[in-house]
Amino acid sequence: MFANRVLNLILGISAFVVVPVQIVTTFVLGLLVSLTFGLLLLPLSLAWALLFFPMLALSWICSRASPFRNVIGIAFIPWVLVTDTFVALIPSMGELESRASKLMLCGAWPFTWEFSQFLLRKLDLESSAPTSVALSEIVNRMSRHNPYAQRVVMRVSAGQDLDSNEPMRKTLPDQDIALQDEVQILKEELAQVRGDLELLEKPETVFAFGGMSFEGDGVPQDYVEAANWFRIAAEKGHSGAQHNLGVMYENGQGVSKDPIEAAKWYRLAADQGHPGSQNNLGCFYETGQGVDQDYPQAINWYRKAAANGDVNAVTSLARLEIRMKRDEYSEMVSDFLDLIDDGTPLIGDSALLSHSKKALLYAIRWMIDHYEAELDDCTHQELREKIEAILPRFSYLLTHLARDWHHIDAGDRDAINRLNQFASFPEWALALKEKYINEDKSLDQALDVTLQVIADRVEQAKAAGKETAQAEVEAAWKVFSSRNDQEKTA
């Protein structure tokens, strides 16, 4: 029934075009038929047969497979529309009632077969059979405001031939349903369809469909289908869909694995504040996956994700900051090692250092603290041995730098340069030793830088939310602070 209502709505709209054209075609084609002595009727009749009989056959199939009637009916509406227009415009389709019956055969689609049986008096409209009831409703709708259609129904119901000169002996029964009611029903159905389409336009709905396909929630799990739904929602600006699509491109789920495409969707979601995408984009910048490796950019995105509540970003941020510090401090220590590669001076000129003495002391102390922490967590024997071999070297560098490297007065530089050719202090250089070498002062410097490293670890532990690590570091700080106060008092 729905297919028939849609057809009738379309036919009603097309009538605004067909009726004015009908006046012209009736005159022109009528003139041509007269001029050809009726020979033009043959190809026109053949054209009608080619249009009508396939439609009749499809309607017969619908009568045998009623569940598919609406599907087939909707699909072949264009064919029926062409056939109806042909009947309306061609003047050779019989007398008024005959032409009206042909138009009704088209208008009854997809019940054309049943209406043809009615015309052949093989089907009773007043029967209680479902097909008869449905056809009766369609016939009543077609004939309600069409007198020629009413004449067709009355003559067939009375057993009379169409276009007969006999007076009609039967009248149509009164109708209970007004045309306005039929139009209202069709409007409501169209409004429902329009509402469903509007619902599908909402990115939240499309995103939910993608989630159902991805998880297999109520439907078979299908990553390809999920990716298609997510893409539709992502292109509409849905940050969750953009993030999920990025994950699928990163992992190759339902799409080809493509880190560049993954980074693209992560960035779109991250720009909208999606914490998961901000964290993942930071990871991409850290590893150089899908983008150029860029630690500062990685730190930037990790910080944004952490601020938005992503717990993984908090850990990643702390880890990358430690890594960047390790790389920076390793380079500083390496420069210092290159400086003393030819020999350790008895008194070093801090002006020759690549960084300030204080910064270099901090870097060495930080490296010692870092490797001691790694040693506590390390279970690999070979790696433990390497760390244990490195730590004494760093401790020596810390002591040597704190005790032996100083700001040299300009008047002492020549003597210092000559002194550094010796392995120990000669008598003439004892005054220089007494002036620059101060064990207590060097110890204070080493303790101060140790306390500073511990203080920074406390702040880092607070930022990362590691209460246990914070407590351990603060305990170590108290020990060092107490020892430092005692030594200064002494």
Domains of the chain: 2-163+177-187 (no CATH), 202-309 (1.25.40.10), 319-489 (no CATH)
**Residue 36: pLDDT band by 50, 70, 90 thresholds?**
low
Res 421 pLDDT > 60 = yes
Res 189 pLDDT > 60 = yes
Give the pLDDT mean for 148-158.
80
Q: What is the pLDDT of residue 466?
A: 53
Q: Which residue has the higher pLDDT, 359 or 465?
A: 359
Q: Which residue has the higher pLDDT, 158 or 293?
A: 293
CA 402 to chain centre: 57
Res 332 pLDDT > 60 = yes
Q: What pTM, to 2 d.p., does this model score?
A: 0.50
Percent above pLDDT 90 for the chain: 32
Highest mean pLDDT among 153-157, 282-286, 345-349: 282-286
Nearest to 401 by CA among 361, 341, 441: 361
**Out of 130-139, 220-229, 448-457, least confident range:** 130-139
Average of per-residue pLDDT values in the chain: 81
Highest mean pLDDT among 16-30, 79-93, 196-210, 277-291: 277-291
